[in-house]
Structure 1
Amino acid sequence: MSIPNEALQKLVQEIETQAIQAQQQINTVKSQIGLKQREIRMLQLTSSEVSTLPSDTPVYEGVGKMFVFSPIAEVDKRLTTETSELKTDVENLGKKLLYLETTHKNSREHIDQIFNSGGRG
């Protein structure tokens, strides 16, 4: 049994579209992971700098165009919380990336199978 040419072309086109979309999403997710990893690194550097300060050192955080006094303990707590949230985000993006890479690979394999079988069903 053979698949009609029109149906075969439509199938290949749909799979190719899916592969292209997956590749675009892969690039987006990789970019997001890179940004979040840079943010984590900045927070870790800030945290390490703050931890070296004596506990009575006045620390100010930027809020809009002004700076507000914050106790070192609160600053450190905020940095730790933000770092933890970003690590969770990176982990979730990693899972999404794995899914998208699998989808892309499967799409490519399906296209190869169609061409290798010559359209024979």
Structure 2
Amino acid sequence: MSISNEALQKLVQEIETQAIQSQQQISMVRSQIGIKTREIRKLELTSKEVSELPSDTNVYEGVGKMFVFSPTAEIDKRLTGEASELKSDIKNLEKRLQYLETTHKNSQSHIDQIFKSGGRS
């Protein structure tokens, strides 16, 4: 049984579109992972600096256009919480990245398979 040229062309276009979309999403997810990794590093460095301060040091956080006094323990706790949230986000993004890479790989293999078979089923 042979597939018509029109149907074959339409099928290849759909698979190519899916492959292109997957590739775009892969680069976007990788970018998001990089941004979140840099943010984690920034939070860890800030936490390290705050933890090295004496406990009686006045520390102020920027809130909009003003600064609010916050105890060092509270700031360190907030920074640690934000870092753990970002790590969780990165895990989820890595799972999505793996899924997208698999989708892209499958799309490419389907295209190769179609061309190798020459449109025959």
In the alignment, structure 1 segments of 5+ residues that lack a partner are: none
CA RMSD of aligned residues (A): 0.5
For 2:38 and 2:68, how far apart are their aligned partners in 1? 25
- Offset of residue 65 of structure 1: 1.4
What is aligned with 1:20? Answer: 20
| 1:75 and 2:75 aligned | yes
For 2:53 and 2:76, how far apart are their aligned partners in 1? 11
After superposition, what is the alpha-carbon deviation per residue over 1:28-87, rounded to whole angstroms, capped at 9, x for unaligned? 101100100010000000000001000000111111111110001110010000000000
What is aligned with 2:119? Answer: 119
Partner SS state of residue 120, structure 2: coil
Q: How does 1:1-121 map to 2 (within 5 A)?
A: 1-121=1-121
Partner SS state of residue 12, structure 2: helix
For 1:88 and 1:54, how far apart are their aligned partners in 2? 31
For 1:66 and 1:31, how far apart are their aligned partners in 2? 32
- Offset of residue 20 of structure 1: 0.3
Aligned length: 121
What is the percentage of aligned positions where both structures have the same residue? 79
Q: TM-score, normalised by structure 2?
A: 0.99
For 2:12 and 2:20, how far apart are their aligned partners in 1? 12
Q: Which amino acid aligns with 1:107?
A: S
For 2:106 and 2:59, how far apart are their aligned partners in 1? 53
In the alignment, structure 2 segments of 5+ residues that lack a partner are: none
For 1:35 and 1:112, how far apart are their aligned partners in 2? 35
For 1:15 and 1:106, how far apart are their aligned partners in 2? 9
